[in-house]
Structures are given as structure tokens and as C-alpha cells.
Amino acid sequence: MSVLEPELRPATTFWENVAAGQLTFQRCVQCNGVVFYPRVVCPLCGGVELRWEQSIGAGTIYSVSVRFPAEARNRSSCAWSTSTKGSG
């Protein structure tokens, strides 16, 4: 009997792929759902076998946000942004 070991640091793998010039996401083997942001467990079914796939680099941006930490004195140096897009 084999035991599946979940990938414990999927964000590290994601950023390693980015450094190599690849935009990747996870796909759950159990339910075939797309998982993004990188996670240890599928949020759709609880499956722990998540495989990496490379995005084709196309999609639709649905939203973009820029966040400022409340304690930031110099807001221009402390902002970060996120975006949400469809998979593909």
C-alpha cells in the first residue's frame, strides 16, 4: 500500500517555475479541478494529488487590486498588486 505525500511547499515550486519562465497551476487528479493559488489540498474535493500544468499564457483578467499595508508610511514603496484571471 502506498501513501500519497502531499507537496508541502507548493508556493516554492510555483515561484521556481516562474523563475524558469513558466506560468504554472495545479490540477487535481481526483476531480480534475484547477487549483490556483498553489495549495497542498484541493479546495474542491479534498484530494491531495495535485499535478503541475503549464499555462498557455492566455486568459481574461477579471479584477486587479493594489493593497497598501495600513502601517505603511511611504505607500508608494509598500504596495503590491494581485490579479485574478481565468485559467488557460
- Contact residues for Zn ion, defined by CB under 5 A: 28, 30-31, 33, 42, 44-45, 47
Look-up of cell digits 490556483: 36
Residue 11, CA distances (Å) to 3, 35, 59, 60 in order: 22, 12, 21, 23
The residue (of 18 and 31) whose beta carbon lies closer to Zn ion is 31
Q: How far apart are CA 29 and CA 62, in angstroms?
A: 26
The residue (of 33 and 59) whose beta carbon lies closer to Zn ion is 33
The residue (of 30 and 83) whose beta carbon lies closer to Zn ion is 30
Q: How far is the CB of 83 from Zn ion (least distance, A)?
A: 24
